[in-house]
A and B are shown apart, each in its own frame.
Chain A
Amino acid sequence: MNTALSWIKAYVPDLECTDQEYMDAMTLSGTKVEGYTRLDKNLEKIVVGQIQKIEKHPDADKLIVCQVDIGDEVIQIVTGAPNVKEGDKVPVVLDGGKVAGGHDGGPLPEEGIKIKAGKLRGVPSNGMMCSIEELGSSRDMYPEAPEMGIYIFEDDVPVGADAVELLGLRDTVFEYEITSNRVDCYSVIGIAREAAATFRKPFILPEVTVKGNGEKVEDYISVEVQDPELCPRYCARVCKNIKIAPSPKWMQRRLAASGIRPINNLVDITNYVMEEYGQPMHAYDLSTIAGHKIIVRRAKDGDVFQTLDGQERALDSEVLMICDAQKEVGIAGIMGGENSKITDDVTTVLFEAATFNGANIRKSAKRVGLRTDASGKFEKGLDPHNAEAAINRACQLIEEFGCGEVVDGMVDVRGEMKEKVVLPFEPERYNRLLGTQVSREEMLAIFKMIEVEYDEASNNLTIPTFRQDILRQCDIAEEVARFYGYDKIPTTLPTGEATTGKLPFKLRIEQKARDIAEYCGFSQGMCYSFESPKVFDKLLLAADDPARAAITIANPLGEDFSIMRTISLNGMLTSLATNYNRRNKEVRLYELGNIYLPKALPLTELPEERMAFTLGMYGDGDFFTMKGVVEEFFDSIGMRKKAVYDPDAGRNYLHPGRQANIIYEGTLVGFLGEVHPEVCDNYDMKTRAYVAVLDMPAILPLATFDRKYEGIAKYPAVLRDISMVVPKEIRAGQIESVIVQRGGKILEDYQLFDIYEGDQIKEGYKSIAYSITFRAKDRTLEEADVTAAMKKILNGLESMGIELRS
């Protein structure tokens, strides 16, 4: 909301402060000022001049030479403006002065434009006459200004006076950010009341009196509200013998500063009252209202209505309409109809000031696809009391401007008005909540400023109806805090029972995952939780793959963000591809992020959110690099047993010969592998890429930070190397199972130290060599112990068709 400070001062006449002081103080008391603009920015040395004589320029057809009286002297000004004549009073920038912009009305330069005396085609010119655009405004805001030409004042302005002042530009426009709970502050009066309280100056409301013409409003109009739920109050008044004309300059200036274009007296009055009171109003041409009757009712499904902007609007039974005896004449609270709009020929006007159900207006505006200034105010839920004040104010202005006569009385259809909120005055409670020691007297002084009444006898506070946000004691405490000053509230730390700060186990494990990944050269990425359903095809998932059962967002930002991911790979592959396409070499990324698995679709309960630890890389390194990271991580979280790698993982997105499920203690905890070349193609990556995905909820119960020291071996170890020729299809893991099963208690460790396929090895076989370590904790091993264990192992291996090499 934008408002000129001069308008605020109209209700707080004693207010005196700099613009910056005003901004800071208002912001600190809760009416946030986003910024301000001085309207006289870059307007310097500009006075009213009267053109005494105009002569042709001797050397230029399009220029004229003017003698201009600027009060204390007459100066010569050369201009090309076509619209001036002798006797005109115009704004004149003197030598060394400044204007805000060019005559084309383009963007205003930050430093303005300096004006200096000089010669135009050889003739001296000692200043410049200005157009409204050069003064930083526009014809929209100053409709009386001529198109393409110098602004011309009315005859009664004094020569030599400050032209900027006369144009109402010695003013500052403040931009406010009003919070949604302060409906009352979407009005000049509301803000002025806050300003008065902030600066502790008297607040003076306009005195509203309407003379009336002695006729009765009931003879002109009747109102029937069929849906009082959606329309708690409907006020109607009638004005006749309307004479459409421009509104007074002071009103035009205030509207212009608020960003509202002055149109004519009638429109300006309704706009002015909406700004001033925060109550939208509507004016109907009474001659268009059939049966001189207003009916407020819901539209019917399928109805179509033409609003006064000429657009056809589709309606339904949730939309409230203003109708006459025959037809709809407006969408309640949103926009009037083309069929009842005011034209210059109007003679009798029906004013409407109503209150509508905020939520209904909000929804209707959305459905109809039309959000207006009026609906923006109504949807916040207006105070029904304000409607009456506003409509009377409008009638007062009609009389004041002499542009019509007001018919006596108001048709007022309303249900039960809400009672005022009454709360006991509990100063200790407010201090207890705030941690302050504000005195009772100070509090009462604050309440007085904001029109909260205190009754000593009952010790009760009565809240004015316009403060719909004050319902409980905590709301009162906030009022005390705001005007006492948030900055004056002390700073303390909570006392009371000490609590232990902690990071839960899950988050500690995730921290470890980050540490290990980074130690292994992986940097942390972050991916979106939603993605496109197309990723399932990109990842080659089978048509019946359970991962395709994803949660769909009802109102997504687009297909690319329309489902909640059920698999973390797309984010990782997209990130790798981004890097690949930007020619980044050697990329290793990891991500810790949730996947979302629905228990049933459509969703009836919350889905399962499973944290996935996803690693991805291309460049240096291969499957076993990735496997190394996985095992480093397991090691670091106390998973010291050997994990089993099952190559029959059946994952379509991975290379069929280079993938494995990771099984730990019989639990599937994740998988790893080389990305399927076709998937790489789908992501535009012409390189091998490797991924690992660990299912953190499966890992958590297996992880531990407990460690137990086992003692460093006292007795010597015995090493045995075995070298074998193994049928190709037997995997190292199978050999290791045999070693583990048959090595007995004295088996300490085994390491694969050589693997070879090629010339010296017969077709279909490979050569593998292990070094096996035996040790007993309590004694030095005898040769016989080791031989026995080795024999068992070797027998086992031989039974698998493995040949031992000497």
Chain B
Amino acid sequence: MKEKLEQIKAEALRQIEASDALEKLNEVRVNYLGKKGELTAVLKGMKDVAPEDRPKVGQLVNETREEIEKVLDASVKKMEKMVREAKMKTEVIDVTLPARKNNVGHRHPNTIALEEVERIFIGMGYEVVEGPDVEKDYYNFEALNIPADHPAKDEQDTFYITGDILLRTQTSSTQVHEMEKGKLPIRMIAPGRVFRSDEVDATHSPSFHQIEGLVIDKNITFADLKGTLAEFAKELFGENTKVKFRPHHFPFTEPSAEMDVTCFKCGGTGCRFCKGEGWIEILGCGMVHPHVLEMSGIDPEQYTGFAFGVGLERIALLKYEIDDMRLLYENDIRFLKQF
């Protein structure tokens, strides 16, 4: 009996060895291990074996089965691998062929810059608010310390609709609306469209965008203004950006300043981009004028604050090195796709 099993095993292993396809291996499995296979036949012949030998024979048969199965499984695995690899060889593609893109659209460079600015200030606890484009003279001028005869009113070539209603020339008007709500402290930025009667050319547009910032609280200092805007400049233009504050004049802030940042092309050594100066003027700012606070019902003895205004187009043009402002309003897809 033992010899017979050895014989079956040897023959099975030989057939496995000789198999060159999965189907052949399957045949071996059926022929030897299947219901009608040879090992099953041996088991069926157990009735002729002496009862005391049966367990031993049974064990022998199982051992043989396991051995064949083991070899068979390994061969199947090996064969499957060969088949898979052969198949993959026929499936080589030219990976340099063009991609199938989803052709997603692109955001306007102004919006990209705006969202950057919003992200930075929201992170510092500022709320984004909006004010109307068509505005009352009071909010655009008077409440900002620019009374009727103030020369600044002429400087800002205003579009008027009626004597009292105009297109806002600055987003600073939103400061006033926010202060009038009477909810303190205030930390806000107000992006929006502004209008000035400048003819369209490479550096002017009768309509552009500003972002106004306003903080009002107890104990706000000029040092806080400097710190906040220095932080903003680093976030927007890079960690190594330095800032410089120069005294300036705005009717609605006192003291007032203009802020320059180190040129982000040359880092401040001077290049064509910054006209050799190393610095680029980026925004106007200052401590909110006490009279402005008073007019909006805030007690300047208790509260102080700072305000700033940034030109959105200015940032977009600088950041993306766009040399003609008209491109921003032409909406040529070849321009927009670059952002």
Decide if A501 is an interface residue (CB 8 Å cutoff). yes
Q: Would you give the 0/1 interface string for B244-287, flagging 1 where the beta carbon is closer than 8 Å to chain A?
A: 11111101001111000000000000000000000000000001
Decide if B16 is an interface residue (CB 8 Å cutoff). no
Q: With CB as the reference atom, state the residue of chain B lying closest to A554.
A: B160
Decide if A135 is an interface residue (CB 8 Å cutoff). no
Asked if B287 contacts A433 (CB within 8 A), the reply is: yes
| Chain A residues with CB under 8 A of B223 | 434-436, 489-492
Decide if A712 is an interface residue (CB 8 Å cutoff). no
Decide if B143 is an interface residue (CB 8 Å cutoff). no
Q: Would you give the 0/1 interface string for A479-503, flagging 1 where the beta carbon is closer than 8 Å to chain B?
A: 0011000110111111111111111
**CB proximity of A699 to chain B, nearest CB, Å:** 17
In the assembly, what is the distance between CA of A530 and CA of B134, in Å?
12
Choose, from B37-45, B58-66, B328-336, the stretch at the interface.
B328-336
Asked if A606 contacts B134 (CB within 8 A), the reply is: yes
Asked if A552 contacts B129 (CB within 8 A), the reply is: no
Q: With CB as the reference atom, state the residue of chain A lying closest to B151.
A: A180
| Chain B residues with CB under 8 A of A205 | none
Decide if B95 is an interface residue (CB 8 Å cutoff). no
Decide if A261 is an interface residue (CB 8 Å cutoff). no
| Chain A residues with CB under 8 A of B135 | 606
Asked if B222 contacts A435 (CB within 8 A), the reply is: yes
Decide if A133 is an interface residue (CB 8 Å cutoff). no
Asked if B132 contacts A606 (CB within 8 A), the reply is: yes
Tally of contact residues, B, Cβ under 8 A = 85
Within 8 A of A (CB), among B97-137: 102-108, 110-111, 115, 118, 121-130, 132-136
Asked if B247 contacts A481 (CB within 8 A), the reply is: yes
Asked if B219 contacts A529 (CB within 8 A), the reply is: no
Decide if B165 is an interface residue (CB 8 Å cutoff). yes
Q: With CB as the reference atom, state the residue of chain A lying closest to B115.
A: A511
Decide if B230 is an interface residue (CB 8 Å cutoff). yes
Within 8 A of B (CB), among A379-396: 379-380
In the assembly, what is the distance between CA of A29 and CA of B257, in Å?
11
Known interface pairs A501-B125, A606-B134; A519-B104 also in contact (CB < 8 Å): yes
Asked if B161 contacts A551 (CB within 8 A), the reply is: yes
Among B106, B329, B331, the most chain A Cβ lie within 10 Å of the Cβ of B331
In the assembly, what is the distance between CA of A606 and CA of B162, in Å?
11
Decide if A603 is an interface residue (CB 8 Å cutoff). yes
| Chain A residues with CB under 8 A of B336 | 523-525, 589
In the assembly, what is the distance between CA of A609 and CA of B130, in Å?
12
Q: With CB as the reference atom, state the residue of chain A lying closest to B288.
A: A474
Asked if B151 contacts A362 (CB within 8 A), the reply is: yes
In the assembly, what is the distance between CA of A493 and CA of B234, in Å?
14
Q: With CB as the reference atom, state the residue of chain B lying closest to A571.
A: B331
**CB proximity of A631 to chain B, nearest CB, Å:** 17
Within 8 A of B (CB), among A431-477: 432-436, 469, 472-475, 477
In the assembly, what is the distance between CA of A52 and CA of B87, in Å?
105
In the assembly, what is the distance between CA of A481 and CA of B286, in Å?
12
Q: Which of A380, A481, A528, A579 contacts B151 (CB 8 A)?
A: A380
Asked if A181 contacts B249 (CB within 8 A), the reply is: yes
Within 8 A of B (CB), among A43-99: none
In the assembly, what is the distance between CA of A530 and CA of B223, in Å?
41
| Chain B residues with CB under 8 A of A507 | 128, 130
Among B121, B332, B334, the most chain A Cβ lie within 10 Å of the Cβ of B332
Among A182, A552, A603, the most chain B Cβ lie within 10 Å of the Cβ of A603
Decide if B207 is an interface residue (CB 8 Å cutoff). yes
Q: Which of A499, A517, A523 contacts B127 (CB 8 A)?
A: A499
A sample of 7 more A-B contacts (CB under 8 A), given A486-B246, A500-B127, is A181-B251, A496-B217, A503-B118, A503-B128, A527-B329, A552-B161, A554-B160
Q: Lowest 9 A-B CB distances belong to which pairs?
A: A435-B223, A435-B221, A30-B247, A525-B331, A359-B149, A501-B122, A179-B249, A478-B255, A575-B331
